[in-house]
């Protein structure tokens, strides 16, 4: 099947997670993504991950997770020669994505105003911690700092305990996803109107969007979301200890809570409106604790799911990955023997499918600068000029 973004060239000047994940989502849609790193300081994610050997090779799993389908070149953008090469590449590109501190690339003559003058239909996506406006615009931050800043950590964890960050870097991934969506919107606008534009994505803004319902409630009447662990307004949504493992139940609506109490043999606890459910929280939660504790989690999953009551045991990642449902969904891609040293590398691809277009990966992650000669040759550089650039530390 065709790729949605086939023929679209993306210059990826991002590092660590949010930016690289955003450009990765464009890559799985078929864009030609050229990752550009400093020769003396490549993406720090290359040196992070679960395999120390790969970390030492600059191919850490933190990098590999969002590097498939990308080419890699190295450029010293602090040098005039490096900046000249980038400007040449910009004239061949459709999109540039960067996540430097606001103003950093402008100081090098590589900001949106500079590059759009060379390529008026360029889509220039800037990802940063706090955006390019406002008093915090020059501050840098990572996922954990934004979770702390946004209020997410203050509402996470058990009551009266220290704040807790989410186990996964959700702000980073949400920021990357948002950036990819914004670039797609800009590409559609360019197709319809023939112009490029500046696209801005701030991690702090994305964190606010992730807290939308909490923010709306607070701004309406001053209600503040506090730490409540696994407790919900309704007792029929929560985590209860079965005889052998924790079980998450989400009998959210009135029909589901009716089916839950019926299958548990407690029809006397069925409620007719949500107000009754909220007022009966203590009674219902105690009943659920007593009942769920009597039998193994496997029993409760089978019985509740058969009754169309959402429920799942709390399980570790390896158990989830062994599930036949996960294996059937094709969210993951495993590279075969053609991947050489990376044979067996398995990476998440995308959380969506397109019925008429291919979404996937085929090219393994590349070492820093692996495509230097290929890309520079395409720009007209001779072998001797490329060697000179290498000797000067430009690439």
Annotated catalytic residues are 172
Cβ-count burial of 104 within 10 angstroms (0-12 exposed, 13-18 middle, 19+ buried)?
middle
Q: What share of the chain is helix, strand, coil (3-state, %, to 5)?
A: 45, 15, 45
Rounded CA separation 171/165 (Å): 11
Cβ–Cβ < 8 Å for 52, 30: no
E strand spans, the chain? 9-13, 32-37, 70-74, 95-98, 123-128, 197-202, 237-241, 246-250, 311-313, 332-334, 346-348
**Angle, CA of 33, 35 and 39, to the nearest 5°:** 160
Sign of CA dihedral 199, 200, 201, 205: negative
**HSE-up of 214 (CA within 13 Å, CB side)?**
15
Sign of CA dihedral 2, 3, 4, 6: negative
What number of other Cβ atoms are within 10 A of residue 275's Cβ?
Answer: 9
Three-state secondary-structure class, residue 364: coil
SS3 for 234-262 is: CCCEEEEECCCCEEEEECCCHHHHHHHHH
Give the closest residue to 204 by CA, choosing from 269, 139, 257. 139
Tokens of 172: 């980073």
Rounded CA separation 244/197 (Å): 56
């Amino acid at each position: 099947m065709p790729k949605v973004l086939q023929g679209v060239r993306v210059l990826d000047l991002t590092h660590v997670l949010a930016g690289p994940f955003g450009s990765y989502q464009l890559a799985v849609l078929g864009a030609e993504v050229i990752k550009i790193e400093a020769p003396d300081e490549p993406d720090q994610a290359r040196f992070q991950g679960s395999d120390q050997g790969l970390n030492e090779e600059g191919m850490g799993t933190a990098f590999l997770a969002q590097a498939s389908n990308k080419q890699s070149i190295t450029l010293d953008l602090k040098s005039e020669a490096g900046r000249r090469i980038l400007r040449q590449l910009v004239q061949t590109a459709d999109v540039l994505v960067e996540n430097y501190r606001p103003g950093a690339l402008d100081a090098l003559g590589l900001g949106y105003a500079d590059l759009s003058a060379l390529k008026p239909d360029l889509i220039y996506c800037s990802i940063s911690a706090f955006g390019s406006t406002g008093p915090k615009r020059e501050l840098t931050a990572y996922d954990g700092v934004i979770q702390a800043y946004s209020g997410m950590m203050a509402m996470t964890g058990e009551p009266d305990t220290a704040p807790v960050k989410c186990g996964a870097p959700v702000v980073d991934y949400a920021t990357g996803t948002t950036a990819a969506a914004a670039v797609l919107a800009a590409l559609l606008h360019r197709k319809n109107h023939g112009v490029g534009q500046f696209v801005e994505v701030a991690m702090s803004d994305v964190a606010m969007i992730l807290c939308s319902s909490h923010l709306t409630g607070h701004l309406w009447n001053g209600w503040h979301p506090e730490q409540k662990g696994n407790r919900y307004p309704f007792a029929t949504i929560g985590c209860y200890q079965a005889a052998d493992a924790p079980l998450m139940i989400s009998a959210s609506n009135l029909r589901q809570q009716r089916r839950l109490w019926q299958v548990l043999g407690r029809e006397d606890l069925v409620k007719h409106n949500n107000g009754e459910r909220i007022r009966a929280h203590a009674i219902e939660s105690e009943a659920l604790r007593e009942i769920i504790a009597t039998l193994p989690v496997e029993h409760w999953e089978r019985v509740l799911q058969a009754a169309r009551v959402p429920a799942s045991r709390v399980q570790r990642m390896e158990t989830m990955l062994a599930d036949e449902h996960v294996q059937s969904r094709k969210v993951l891609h495993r590279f075969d023997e053609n991947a050489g040293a990376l044979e067996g590398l398995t990476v998440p691809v995308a959380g969506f499918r397109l019925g008429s277009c291919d979404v996937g990966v085929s090219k393994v992650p590349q070492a820093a600068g692996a495509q230097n000669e290929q890309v520079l040759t395409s720009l007209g550089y001779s072998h001797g000029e490329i060697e000179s650039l290498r000797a000067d530390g430009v690439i």
